[in-house]
Structure 1
């Protein structure tokens, strides 16, 4: 539609010009003594228009020639920028592909364009780090001086330091980030690894909880880290009753019910003479996580002469786990402590019956030894000798 409009205007102008020149009888006379030049007005207008186009062409050509050096410089700059951008892309691809020497070389080529020189330096630093070239890595990082790229430099440096097992250096770098107000999830992951290397279990537990809450850590990994931290922190407090109680109360319900956390906690509480607390820990954990370590630990939570409630609880569990060899062994130990010889003997014998010959060999050895000691106490030496012999054979 627009094209038709301009074609109509062009044809209208042509018709108007033709009519103007046909009916225009005017003349133009130029006096330049002693000369007199007489021209038709149409010819004068045509010559004037021609002169305008000639002058315009000459001026345009002169301007174009004067701008040629600047145009050539701009072309060279564009070519250099395009080559640098291509080198930066190639450097990133080589880094991801594991070709670290080529990545470092192309990163150096990408620095030909100053605008991306410091970005290329970050890539070069990572490539040098992968080749374990610490000095070159630090030299690359030293080139990143732009305040806008300071955060990228610090995060990258912290990650590379913790990867090189320089946990203290990584934490110092993270402290600089946090001083600037940075609280990214990725930085917390790096800090978690650094604290894990340094065995700062309090911080490991705090960061694992924080990352798990934000779905930034796989639940299995978060649970494993929390278990490691709790095991270490429980061990640190194993001789301090108050400290052990305070730390145990600080744990969440899910953490207290984890077998790897509840088992050492029950052991330490029992060792400090807090059998009731140890028993509650094991019973609460077994409600949601049936674990052989907790079942075997339950026997140590009994006070001498007061194990009847635990025997009753073990018998209740047997209705749910009728072929659990660990549970029968625990029940036998509890009955042995209360001198219920017949029940203890039947429990140990059932433990031997249901225990796997390969996977629970240690349990079978302990059951034979427990039977041997029981028969010694009840003055049945022949049977005691038989079980001692069986335990020795299994242990060998």
Structure 2
């Protein structure tokens, strides 16, 4: 039906045009210089229509040709991009596998078709570092930093890690300090700083870093507590190495109250005081600590130090016995304190009670020495032999001169 209507309309239009041409064909004259062109108006309209049609044909052809050219360009561009992504992936795999030379070659080759080359440059720098090629490593880091204004932190971290690997801790610290200034909350910066401070034994700086590690949940709380204890111990060791009582005591004043209750820290502090000749101060520290927290380690060391009043020190330990009963560590210390007060039989009794409860090599040697000096040579030899066995240094059974007689 639609075709019939279209044919009918075409016939009507054609008949109308034929009638119009017969009625008045019209006249067109075009003159240019000595040249003139004459035609009827209907021929002129036909020529104009043909020109317009040809123009549209040329335009459409050119447009289609441009699309074809674009498609060809896109094909090669996409092919390069796919090849670049493939080489980047293979380069990363080779990097993980430790094939540094192949990794660097693939990563740099992938740059030809990559519009985001940062990862390629950074991994290529790391691969060069692994190969010992410092010059190439620096060059790739420089190129990485030029890729984006936001790449500076990633570049600094990569550079710092390589400096740490090479043992250039001071240089790594300078690099990380700049990076931290620009990225206070960047976790990798804080983790690397922790590693550098540990390597440099910079305990004060590490202690200052710990609040940031806690704040951003970078490490488990237990690990941070362990780092804090290690840092405090390191500071104590540095202070004690100066053999300066004031420096050691000043360190203790700066220790947080919570940590002043830590058994390991208290014991290390007391040992440091004793090592520089401050037994009386060490005795006071341990005595005060034991009032808050009973500890066998502290009790044992209490018997090793000489307080300002030896009689009072022994009385204090004997008062603890009423509360803690037959504690092997306390009995051992009571024996040593009795020796300081020259109470030989009392010391012997305390040592023997402790030995029955918890024999040890140290206690065996202590008993052997005391008994030998008291003239009980047979008993002394027995305890000494047992002490050697407890220490893992037992002697083989061999003939001896006295036994041979």
The reply to whether TM is greater than 0.5 is yes
Deviation at 1:70, TM superposition (A): 5.7
Q: Which moved more, 1:220-229 or 1:103-112?
A: 220-229
Q: Give the match for residue 86 of structure 1.
A: 86
> What corresponds to 1:310 in structure 2?
317
Consecutive unaligned residues of structure 1, counting only runs of 5 or more, are 1-10, 357-363
Specify which of 236, 239, 260 is matched with residue 238 of structure 2.
Answer: 236
Q: Which is further off, 343-352 or 305-314? A: 343-352
Q: Show structure 2 runs of 5+ residues with no match.
A: 29-37, 394-405
Aligned to 1:4: none
- What do you get for the CA RMSD once the two structures are aligned? 3.8
Change (3 A) 1:67 1:311: same
User: Structure 1 residues 63 and 389, CA, compared in 2 at 3 Å: closer, same or farther?
Assistant: closer
Say if 1:35 and 1:171 are closer, same or farther in 2 by CA, change over 3 A: closer
Aligned partner of 2:358 in structure 1 is 355
- Does 1:331 find its partner at 2:295? no
Q: 1:367 aligns with which of 353, 363, 368?
A: 363
Is the Cα contact below 8 Å between 1:125 and 1:141 reproduced in 2? yes
Match of 2:281 in 1: 274
Q: CA deviation at 1:37?
A: 9.3
**Count of paired positions:** 366
- Alignment partner for residue 347 of structure 2, among 344, 349, 370? 344
Q: Distance in 2 between matches of 1:194 and 1:145?
A: 23
- The structure-2 alpha-carbon separation of the partners of 1:94 and 1:59, relative to structure 1 and needing over 3 Å to count, comes to same
Deviation at 1:248, TM superposition (A): 1.6
Question: What is residue 294 of structure 1 aligned with on the other side?
Answer: 298
- Contact kept? 1:369, 1:387, Cα under 8 Å: yes
TM-score, scaled to structure 1: 0.75
Work out whether 1:245 is the aligned partner of 2:249. Answer: yes
**CA–CA distance in structure 2, aligned partners of residues 57 and 144 of structure 1:** 50
Alignment of 1:126-275 (within 5 A): 126-146=126-146, 147-180=149-182, 182-238=184-240, 239-270=243-274, 271-272=277-278, 273-275=280-282
| Aligned mates of 1:60, 1:220 — CA distance in 2 | 74
Q: Which SS does the other structure have where 1:306 is aligned? A: helix
* Equivalence for 2:398: none
Deviation at 1:265, TM superposition (A): 0.6
Q: TM-score, normalised by structure 2?
A: 0.74
Deviation per residue, 1:125-151 (Å, 9 max, x gap): 122333444343223223223233122
Q: Relative to structure 2, which stretch is displaced further, 62-71 or 150-159?
A: 62-71
